Amino acid sequence: MRNSLALFMLCASVVSTACSRSQTTGISVDNAFRPLISPDIRVLAGFDLDRLKATPLYQRHQQELSFPLLNASSERVGLDPRRDISKGIVTWNGRSSLLLVRGPFRSDSVQNKLVSLGAKRTTYRSHTLIGNDGEALVFLKGGIAAAGSTSALHSAIDLDSQGTGEVPEELAERLRSLPKEDQIWIVSRGGLPFAEVPMRSDIASALSNIVQFIRGTTVGLAAAGGMSLQAELTCISEDGAKRVRDALKGGLGLARLSTKDNELDMLRLWDAFQIEQDGTLVHVKANFSDDLADKLLARIPRLGTRAGQAIERAQ
């Protein structure tokens, strides 16, 4: 179950980015999710698959999302993110994450299939959790499904019962600065998002050079005909922002130098990024034309194959 959810998140994050921006700002978290959000979270990410699937970019690349691993996983658990999920959010409190999704999925069918795969049913506050001692899935009112550690699910159910769940104001303020048309976004406070999560040593080493200088982040992605990205990193000081800007530019330059001259699409990708400093803020922007976006997203089947191979090796 965890692998299926992780794969879904990978696909959603790869497919969704944007091309043109309007001046209208303000992202609002679905009211159905708010009662389940802990006030102490440090990271809040969201995705709107219904709006994403309506874009020309998605329409052109639906077939790239039909690869064997995702198809097989969807069949096994009875939940296909391409069909059954409308929108969702992920929260992180520095210790554990919680995935909340909303959609027209058939909860009874999913529960039965998970049980047939070895998952166990447990009860908490009249809610049925499906999973094991460590992680589980629970279906809630309003067409909501929540997945995460058992303790995280218990906390979310408690918040809902007590009426104390809400988006922290510091993160809500960041959301208000994002363009409304962004289909994927992430905001954070208290440092770089997910910096505590185990990762490859080379990535961890690169992040160690900037993580201490970043206080919060605001990132928005949207899809239209092409793709674009907009990010704002809030740093602890102007000197810290300069270090972050220089490190990002250095990494971008290194990526370009390591790209072969005949890999024109990748060179165009690196050249699309703009990194600027404004006081304690570092701005990162990238816009990709329709044709470049098409070529980049055509790589999705290979990403799916690699993900499947990685999962098989881990099992």
Is the model more confident about 95 or about 198?
A: 95
Beta carbons within 8 Å of 128's beta carbon, 6+ residues apart: 111, 121, 122, 138, 139
Q: What percent of the chain has pLDDT over 70?
A: 83
For residue 5, what pLDDT is reported? 43
Return the H-helix or E-strand segment holding 99: strand 97-102
Strand partners of residue 147: 99, 137
pLDDT band, very low/low/confident/very high, at 81 (cuts 50, 70, 90): confident
pLDDT given at position 22:
45
Q: What is the pLDDT of residue 8?
A: 41
pLDDT at 31 over 90: yes
Predicted confidence at residue 312, as pLDDT, reads: 43
Look at residue 281 and tell me whether its pLDDT is greater than 70: yes
Q: What is the 3-state secondary structure (H, E, C) of 205-258?
A: HHHHCCHHHEEEEEEEEEECCCEEEEEEEEECCHHHHHHHHHHHHHHHHHHHHC
Return the bridge partners of 276, or none: 283
Average pLDDT value for residue range 251-262: 92
- For the segment 297-314, the average pLDDT, to the nearest whole number, is 51
Of 65-79, 212-226, 271-285, which range is least confident? 65-79
Higher-confidence residue: 198 or 230?
230
pLDDT band of residue 314 (cuts 50, 70, 90) is very low
How many domains are contained in the chain?
1
Both tokens of 303, joined, read 């990403």
Residue 299 scores a pLDDT above 80? no
Q: With contact defined as beta carbons under 8 Å apart, do 154 and 19 qualify? A: no
How far is the C-alpha of 283 from the C-alpha of 274, rounded, in Å? 8
Would the pLDDT of 30 be above 80? yes
Which domain range does residue 163 map to? 2-314
**Single pTM value for the model:** 0.83
pLDDT in tens, 128-184: 999 998 999 999 998 999 999 999 999 999 999 999 999 999 999 999 999 998 999
- What mean pLDDT comes out for the span 18-47? 84
Higher pLDDT, 310 or 73: 73
Token pair 């993110």: residue: 81
pLDDT at 283: 98
pLDDT for res 308 = 43
The fraction of the chain above a pLDDT of 90, given in percent, is 56
The H or E element containing residue 83 is helix 81-84
Supply 295's token pair: 């070529």
Neighbour count for residue 134 (Cβ, 10 Å):
10
* Per-residue pLDDT, 68: 66
Both tokens of 160, joined, read 């809902």
Which of 5, 79, 46 is CA-nearest to residue 222?
A: 46
Q: In what order do the strands lie in the sheet with 135-140?
A: 120-124, 127-131, 135-140, 144-149, 97-102, 87-92, 43-48, 184-189, 214-223, 227-235, 281-288, 273-278
CA-to-CA distance for 157 and 138, rounded, in angstroms?
Answer: 10
> Taking a C-beta distance cutoff of 8 angstroms, is the pair 57, 226 a contact?
yes
Average per-residue pLDDT in the chain? 84
* 211 has a pLDDT exceeding 50: yes
